C-alpha cells in the first residue's frame, strides 16, 4: 500500500537522501577531528620551540610576550574550532537515530511559494548554512506545536511573525526507515500522540518532543519570568514538560546558561533514575538533581527534622526577632579542623565584640567573617614557621609528601622550610577552616535559634532560615530552580528554597489533589511565598490527562473535587474496567496477590502493587515470600514484571497495571487526605486498576 502512495514514496526519498548526507557529514567530521588534532599538536610544538624567552630589556620582553600571546591565540582558535566541530558531530549522531519527526509547510509571504521545514530533536545545516532540519526549540517550530492550519504565528526576538501553515505532517521514523506519516490539524487527532499512548510503560521516562500538545507547549515556551506555577492534573505530562522546559532554556540561552546552573528538585531517588535519560536523549546534560533531603544534607542539616510540620509562623518569628539577637559567651565555639584548634573561642569573641555595635545581621556577619579569615591566615602562617609542623612534614614518606604538596620537601633554609610547610598546613586545614567560617560554624545557631523561638530544638528549615537571615547571602550561581511535586513541600521548606535561591527563576509544578501528607503547602500558600520573594508568579494549567485509559480516569476523577474547567476525559482507547474484589482474610489477599504476580511474570508491561507506606510494602514482600520485592530507595524501576512500591515512591511514576492491596476503609477512610492519597495511587495506572480489600472496600471506591 505504501508503494502506491506517492507522498510516502516522496517522503522516503527525502529521508534516504538526508540520512545519506548525515552519514557523510559524520564520517567527514570524524576524520577531520582526528586529522586536526594531530596537526594542532604538531603546530603547537613547532611554535613553542620557536619562542625564545628573552626578558633582558624592554623591547626583548615585549617581543617575548607578543610571541606567547600569539601562541595563546592560536590555541584558542584551535579549541573554538574543535568545540564547534564536536557539537556538530553530537547533533548529527543524535539525528541519525531519528532525523526528524515532523514537517510544516509555511507560506512566509503571500507572493512567495510555500517552504517545507523539517523539525527534529536537533538542528543541522548544509555546507551553505541552509537548514536541513530545525531544532524543535527553534522559534519557527512553534508553528507545528500551535496545531492550527491557516494563519498562525511564531515569535523571534520579541517580534511576532505571521505566516500561513499549509501542511502539518508527522512522521514515524526509525533511522533511515519511514514507517508512516500523518497529516493532522488538532491535538485530539494527533496520530503520533495516539500511537505513543498505545505503548507500554518504559522503565525510563521518554522525551515527548514529537507529541508536545498545545497547552504543554505554552508552558515550555513561556517567557522567562521570576516564578511560574503550573497546576497539572494526574497524567497531564508535568514532569515531561518540566524537562522540555529545561532543554528549551538551555537552547535559547546556550551562550550564558549551562546545565550546572539549573537545579531540579525531585520527589525521591527512584524518580531521579526514572527521568535521568530524557535530557541526554535531547543532546543536553542533566541539571543537578536534588531531593529536599539532599538539600538538607548539603547544608549540614541532614540529621534534623525535615520541617514537614514546621509552621511558616516560626520562620516569620525568626525574621522579626533576628535584629534583637544578643550573642552570649556560650553561643561561640572554636574553629577546629582534624583536632587542631585554629581559632579559639576567646579570639572569636574578641572579633564579635569589636563589631557588636552593628547588630547581628548581614553587615555584622560580613565584618566578622572577613576578620576571622584574616586571623586564620595569620594562624596558618604561624603554624608553618613552627619546628614541630616542619618536622611533621619532613617525617612523612616521600610518596606522601608528593601526594600532599606535589613535590619532595627538601628545604635549604628556614624561609624555604616555612614555605613548603605552609603548603602542607594549607592542604590539611585551609579549605575546611574557611568553609567553617563561611557557614558560621563559629556560632551555635541552634542555641541562638532555640532561645529566639523558646523551643527545645530547631528543624532544618528553622536552622537554615536563621542562617540566611544572619548571613544575608543566597546562592547566586544557580539561575533556574525546578520543583516537581511542589504540593508535597511544607510552606517552611518552600520559603527556605525561595530565600536560598533568591537570584534564581523558579518553575513550580504540582497537583493539589496529589498532596498525600498533612501540612503541605496549598497553592495559595505557594503563590504567596513566591510573590513575596520574587515579586511575580505567572500561572499555567495542564488540564488534559494523557496517561490513563477512560476507565481508570473515570475511577480517579471521582475521588477528588475538580474545577469546572478541568477536562479529565481520556484520549486513550477504551480499556478494562477496574477490578474490585473483597477477600475474607489476609491469607486470601496474599494468595490473590501471588496469583497476580504469577500472571504478570514474563509480560511486557509493569505492574505495581502500591502500598500505603513503606512498612506495609515490606510486610507484603515478606508475605509473598520473595515472589515480589519491594522497590528500594536507590533502585531503578524494572522494565517489566511486578514490583511493590510505597505510595510516596510511586509519585510521578506510571505503570501499566496498578494494584491497591489495601483499598479498605481503614487505610482509605472518607476524608480529604485519604481521597487525595487514593487518587494519587490509582492515577499511576495506564491501563488497568485492581482494588483489593479484606472485609469491605473503602466507601471511596465501593460500587
Binding-site residue positions: 232-239
Q: Would you list which residues are annotated within the binding site for ATP?
A: 232-239
What count of residues does the chain have? 703
Angle formed by the axes of helices 58-97 and 6-50, to 10°?
A: 160
**692, 681 contact by CB (below 8 A):** no
What per-residue string of b and e applies to 596-616 under the rule 16 or more CB within 10 Å gives b? bbeebeeeebbbbbbbbebeb
213 Cβ contact list (under 8 Å, min separation 6): 145, 147, 187, 190, 193, 237, 544, 546
422 Cβ contact list (under 8 Å, min separation 6): 380, 381, 384
| Exposed / middle / buried, residue 257 (Cβ in 10 Å: 0-12, 13-18, 19+) | middle
Q: How many CA atoms lie within 13 A of 153 on its CB side?
A: 7
- Other beta carbons within 10 angstroms of residue 311's beta carbon come to 16
Q: Print the SS3 string covering 461-528.
A: HHHHHHHHHHHCCCCCCCCEEEECCHHHCCHHHHHHHHHHCCCCEEEEEECHHHCCCCCCCCHHHHHH
Distance CA 592, CA 577 (A): 18
Distance CA 350, CA 359 (A): 15
Helix (H, G, I), strand (E, B) or coil at 166: strand
Q: Where are the beta strands (DSSP E) in 9-158?
A: 102-107, 115-120, 124-125, 131-135, 150-156
**495, 465 contact by CB (below 8 A):** yes
Amino acid at each position: 500500500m505504501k508503494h502506491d502512495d506517492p507522498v510516502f514514496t516522496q517522503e522516503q526519498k527525502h529521508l534516504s537522501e538526508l540520512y545519506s548526507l548525515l552519514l557523510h557529514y559524520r564520517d567527514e567530521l570524524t576524520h577531520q577531528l582526528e586529522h586536526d588534532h594531530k596537526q594542532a599538536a604538531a603546530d603547537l610544538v613547532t611554535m613553542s620551540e620557536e619562542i625564545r624567552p628573552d626578558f633582558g630589556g624592554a623591547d626583548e620582553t615585549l617581543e617575548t610576550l607578543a610571541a606567547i600571546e600569539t601562541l595563546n591565540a592560536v590555541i584558542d582558535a584551535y579549541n573554538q574550532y574543535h568545540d564547534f566541530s564536536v557539537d556538530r558531530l553530537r547533533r548529527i549522531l543524535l539525528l541519525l537515530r531519528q532525523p526528524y519527526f515532523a514537517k510544516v509547510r509555511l507560506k512566509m509571504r503571500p507572493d512567495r511559494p510555500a517552504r517545507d521545514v523539517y523539525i527534529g530533536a536537533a538542528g543541522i545545516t548544509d555546507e551553505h548554512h541552509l537548514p536541513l532540519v530545525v531544532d524543535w526549540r527553534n522559534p519557527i517550530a512553534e508553528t507545528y506545536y500551535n496545531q492550527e492550519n491557516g494563519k498562525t504565528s511564531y515569535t523571534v526576538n520579541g517580534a511576532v511573525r505571521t505566516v500561513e501553515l499549509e501542511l502539518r505532517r508527522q512522521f514515524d521514523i526509525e533511522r533511515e526507515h519511514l514507517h508512516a506519516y500523518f497529516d493532522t490539524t488538532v491535538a485530539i487527532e494527533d496520530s503520533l500522540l495516539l500511537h505513543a499512548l498505545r505503548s507500554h510503560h518504559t522503565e525510563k521516562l521518554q522525551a515527548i518532543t514529537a507529541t508536545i500538545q498545545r497547552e504543554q507547549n505554552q508552558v515550555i515556551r513561556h517567557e522567562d519570568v521570576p516564578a511560574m506555577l503550573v497546576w497539572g492534573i494526574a497524567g497531564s505530562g508535568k514532569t515531561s514538560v518540566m524537562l522540555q522546559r529545561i532543554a528549551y532554556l538551555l537552547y535559547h540561552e546556550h551562550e550564558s546558561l549551562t546545565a550546572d546552573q539549573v537545579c531540579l528538585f525531585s520527589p525521591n531517588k527512584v524518580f531521579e533514575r526514572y527521568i535521568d535519560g530524557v535530557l541526554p536523549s535531547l543532546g543536553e546534560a542533566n541539571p543537578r538533581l536534588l531531593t529536599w533531603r539532599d538539600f538538607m544534607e548539603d547544608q549540614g542539616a541532614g540529621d534534623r527534622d525535615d520541617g514537614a510540620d514546621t509552621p511558616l509562623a516560626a520562620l516569620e518569628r525568626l525574621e522579626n526577632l533576628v535584629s534583637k539577637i544578643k550573642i552570649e559567651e556560650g553561643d561561640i565555639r572554636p574553629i577546629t579542623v582534624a583536632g587542631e584548634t585554629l581559632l579559639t573561642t576567646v579570639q572569636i569573641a574578641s572579633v564579635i565584640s569589636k563589631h557588636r555595635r552593628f547588630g547581628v545581621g548581614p553587615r555584622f556577619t560580613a565584618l566578622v567573617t572577613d576578620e576571622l579569615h584574616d586571623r586564620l591566615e595569620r594562624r596558618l602562617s604561624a603554624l608553618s614557621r613552627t619546628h614541630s609542623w616542619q618536622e611533621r612534614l619532613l617525617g612523612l614518606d616521600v610518596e606522601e609528601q608528593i601526594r600532599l604538596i606535589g613535590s619532595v620537601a627538601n628545604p635549604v633554609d628556614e624561609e624555604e622550610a616555612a614555605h613548603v610547610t605552609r603548603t602542607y598546613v594549607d592542604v590539611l586545614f585551609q579549605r575546611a577552616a574557611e568553609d567553617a567560617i563561611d557557614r558560621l560554624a563559629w556560632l551555635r545557631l541552634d542555641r541562638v535559634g532555640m532561645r529566639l523561638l523558646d523551643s527545645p530544638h530547631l528543624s532544618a528549615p528553622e536552622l537554615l532560615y536563621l542562617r540566611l537571615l544572619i548571613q544575608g547571602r543566597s546562592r547566586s550561581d544557580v539561575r533556574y530552580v525546578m520543583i516537581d511535586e511542589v504540593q508535597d513541600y511544607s510552606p517552611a521548606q518552600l520559603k527556605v528554597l525561595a530565600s536560598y535561591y533568591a537570584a534564581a527563576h523558579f518553575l513550580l509544578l504540582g497537583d493539589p489533589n496529589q498532596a498525600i501528607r498533612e501540612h503541605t503547602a496549598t497553592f495559595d500558600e505557594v503563590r504567596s511565598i513566591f510573590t513575596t520573594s520574587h515579586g511575580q508568579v505567572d500561572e499555567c494549567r495542564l488540564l488534559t490527562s494523557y496517561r490513563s485509559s477512560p476507565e481508570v480516569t473515570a475511577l480517579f476523577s471521582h475521588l477528588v473535587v475538580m474545577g469546572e474547567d478541568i477536562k479529565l476525559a481520556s484520549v486513550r482507547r477504551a480499556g478494562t474496567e477496574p477490578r474490585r474484589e473483597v477477600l475474607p482474610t489476609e491469607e486470601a489477599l496474599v494468595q490473590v496477590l501471588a496469583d497476580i504476580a504469577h500472571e504478570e511474570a514474563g509480560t511486557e508491561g509493569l505492574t505495581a502493587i502500591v502500598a500505603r507506606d513503606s512498612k506495609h510494602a515490606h510486610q507484603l514482600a515478606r508475605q509473598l515470600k520473595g515472589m515480589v520485592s519491594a522497590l528500594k530507595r536507590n533502585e531503578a524501576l524494572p522494565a517489566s514484571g511486578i514490583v511493590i512500591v510505597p505510595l510516596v515512591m510511586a509519585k510521578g511514576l506510571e505503570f501499566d497495571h496498578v494494584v491497591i492491596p489495601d483499598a479498605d476503609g481503614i487505610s482509605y477512610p472518607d476524608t480529604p487526605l485519604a481521597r487525595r492519597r487514593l487518587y494519587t495511587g490509582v492515577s499511576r495506572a495506564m491501563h488497568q486498576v485492581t482494588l483489593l480489600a479484606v472485609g469491605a472496600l473503602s466507601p471511596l471506591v465501593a460500587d
